[in-house]
């Protein structure tokens, strides 16, 4: 059997990483490219599980590393430190992504579709249009779910006109009430009770590296910041352990209120003062409240990156 080309999003996969991988495979089939296969680099989170259950589809297969020369298609990321183990020696055939380009290189030419949109699925939505393919219900719901997740129902400052237009049309195709469906989906992802603190800080964590300075920005969505802060002491314990074991200069844990669009951050590490400069705030009890901040990509990361 011909070897499959693997499609995957980043480690600690979010809804966009999983759903866009699945949609990419569907789009490939419509383009007559039969041997691509969506896989995942980590556990399915509860929000994404809601989507898969809603559609009654199986989660993609988990892979932990790849062999040299393996053909791959990346979605929703490009940085090697967010990708699969062995990515350096993979044959990267294409990237569909909406993030900055960093820590990335290939030895061969490739398809690279980057757009500064709110979501990878919005790029895929426009590809369906460009190729003239009909969008069916399954891919409509997958793409809508990604957009809802990445833009927090179009409320994040990462949202573009492209995302709004795509979500509106996808809602019609899927015949669902986007507000209702979206809120249920987002809420499913905020049920944090049965996660340990160790799991919480790793649920949606991005590892970053600036000139050898290693830092992590992790994020959880909630409908009650207070509820999560009850666990601050234990959270700090596991964050400090991670700082120690991974030699990090900074760990930022953002607790994002999806209903009111604010975040409380816990910042630890030798460079914790960076967040004070970045947001013009004083850390009190290692915390700061950031009004109107919900986006790691557009708000947290650029400000921290500039000051680190």
Residues that bind Mg ion (CB under 5 A): 14, 16-17, 76, 120, 150
Q: How far apart are CA 47 and CA 31, in angstroms?
A: 29
Contact 47, 223 (CB under 8 A): no
In angstroms, give the least distance from the CB of 147 to Mg ion.
Answer: 9
Residue nearest to Mg ion (CB): 16
List of residues 6+ apart from 80 with CB closer than 8 A: 87, 88, 103, 104
Closer of 236 and 290 to Mg ion (Cβ): 290
Got the DSSP string for 28-65? HHHTT-TTEEEEESSPPPHHHHHHHHHHT-PPPEE--B
In angstroms, give the least distance from the CB of 67 to Mg ion.
Answer: 25
Q: Starting at the edge strand that comes first in sequence, how are the strands of the sheet with 71-75 ordered? A: 61-62, 36-40, 5-8, 71-75, 91-97, 111-114
Residue 192, token pair as written in the block: 């944090």
Closer of 48 and 70 to Mg ion (Cβ): 48
Closer of 261 and 286 to Mg ion (Cβ): 261
In angstroms, give the least distance from the CB of 145 to Mg ion.
Answer: 12
Closer of 120 and 222 to Mg ion (Cβ): 120
Contact 23, 40 (CB under 8 A): no
In angstroms, give the least distance from the CB of 251 to Mg ion.
Answer: 17
Q: How far apart are CA 202 and CA 251, in angstroms?
A: 11
Closer of 146 and 236 to Mg ion (Cβ): 146
């Amino acid at each position: 059997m011909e070897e499959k080309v693997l499609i995957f999003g980043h480690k600690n996969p979010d809804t966009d990483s999983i759903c866009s991988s699945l949609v990419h495979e569907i789009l490939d089939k419509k383009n007559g490219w039969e041997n691509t296969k969506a896989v995942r680099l980590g556990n399915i989170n509860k929000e994404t599980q809601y989507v898969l259950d809603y559609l009654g589809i199986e989660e993609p297969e988990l892979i932990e590393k790849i062999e040299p020369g393996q053909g791959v298609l990346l979605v929703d990321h490009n940085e090697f430190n967010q990708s699969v183990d062995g990515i350096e020696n993979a044959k990267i055939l294409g990237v569909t992504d909406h993030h900055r380009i960093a820590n990335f290189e290939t030895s061969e030419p490739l398809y690279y579709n980057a757009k500064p949109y709110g979501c990878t699925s919005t790029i895929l939505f426009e590809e369906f249009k460009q190729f003239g393919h009909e969008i069916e219900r399954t891919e409509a719901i997958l793409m809508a779910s990604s957009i809802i997740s990445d833009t927090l129902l179009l409320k994040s400052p990462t949202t573009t006109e492209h995302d709004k237009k795509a979500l509106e049309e996808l809602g019609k195709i899927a015949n669902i009430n986007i507000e209702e469906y979206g809120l249920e989906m987002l809420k499913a992802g905020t049920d944090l009770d049965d996660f340990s603190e160790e799991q919480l800080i790793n649920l949606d964590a991005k590892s970053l590296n600036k000139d050898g300075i290693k830092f992590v920005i992790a994020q959880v969505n909630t409908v009650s910041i207070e509820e999560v802060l009850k666990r601050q002491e234990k959270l700090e314990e596991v964050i400090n352990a991670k700082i120690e074991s991974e030699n990090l200069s900074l760990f930022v844990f953002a607790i994002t209120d999806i209903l009111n669009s604010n975040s409380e951050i816990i910042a630890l590490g030798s460079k914790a003062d960076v967040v004070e400069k970045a947001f013009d705030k004083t850390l009190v009890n290692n915390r700061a409240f950031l009004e109107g901040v919900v986006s790691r990509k557009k708000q947290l990361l650029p400000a921290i990156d500039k000051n680190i």
